[in-house]
Chain A
Amino acid sequence: MFKNTIEHTDNGLLIKFSGDLDTLAAKDLADEFDAVLPQCGCDVVIDLSDLKYISSGGLRQLLIVRKAVRSLGGTMTTIGVSADILQIFRLSGFDEMFGVK
């Protein structure tokens, strides 16, 4: 079961994912971000400490967020990336793109 919360911070947005981010969950997420991101124009931090699994659809969703944030002059970083998720990021070469901290 995937869940996400969006929080406005001083610097921008703090987004927290938990559960399994599969293709289906990514689809719902896209609609939500479409509404939030254009108003942002700021830095986005994504907390993945409670994320158990990410599919290629989920990766794509992160790529979309990254692209949108960068086009508005911001940066995207991910925090709390677990070893499993980091492995997936590394294998696909996304760890640098997602600004893993």
Chain B
Amino acid sequence: MKRKLTLGWLYPQLMNTYGDRGNIIVLTKRSQWRDIDIEVKYLNEGYSAKELQSCDLLFMGGAQDKQQQIVAKDMTKEKMKVLSEMIEDGIPGLYICGAYQFLGNYYKEADGTIIEGLKIFDLYTENPGKDVKRLIGNISVDITAENKSLQTMVGFENHGGRTYLGKNIQPMARVVIGFGNNGDDKTEGAVYKNSYGSYMHGPILPKNPWFADLLIQKALEKKYKEKIELNKLNDELELTAHDFILKKIS
């Protein structure tokens, strides 16, 4: 039986800065290479809660501030409820930068204005202001979640906001080089059920192919309610790219 996945891309036109589309491309290609039928649903502003509900895997990227305000307006109570239920139910998802912040409790702007988040992830973000440097540069981390011992990920971060995790959420990784969530506590990203939030662009998936596979695998397991083992792909180029940048920044 040919397996099928629906990948929901939340706000592709508004939340797609820093090459985040690469994540969609990688999830698509790596599914297709394994003969998994994958459909990308472009959830642009105005999509219905029902369309969102039909997705097996979710992705949302970062954005410019102006765009983020449009998203906040489009996120109706009904859509928020559906997204929250899906995440609680264990629908896997990857939320980068702006999206990651948006899932938290709140975002405090430099002037003190508080923007309410979706309150799905127990974390908050504060922007210390224009005079404090943005956290920009190549980053490498060790994954602490998933018991993936010694698994390294590489990426590029560029964010003004500092994110602090609450009690009810686990960090995704420990920073080796770079800043991560806030530049202080060495944590990077967050994991809640099967949802991952992270500041890592680059984009994150092309040079960390096992992470892309983890998302595909979890989406299939959730959908087909069985243990899934994905076929191995030839990742020589991906791993060369991964090791090359790791060596360059170490």
Chains A and B bind each other: no
Task: Show the binding face of B for A, using Cβ within 8 Å.
Answer: none
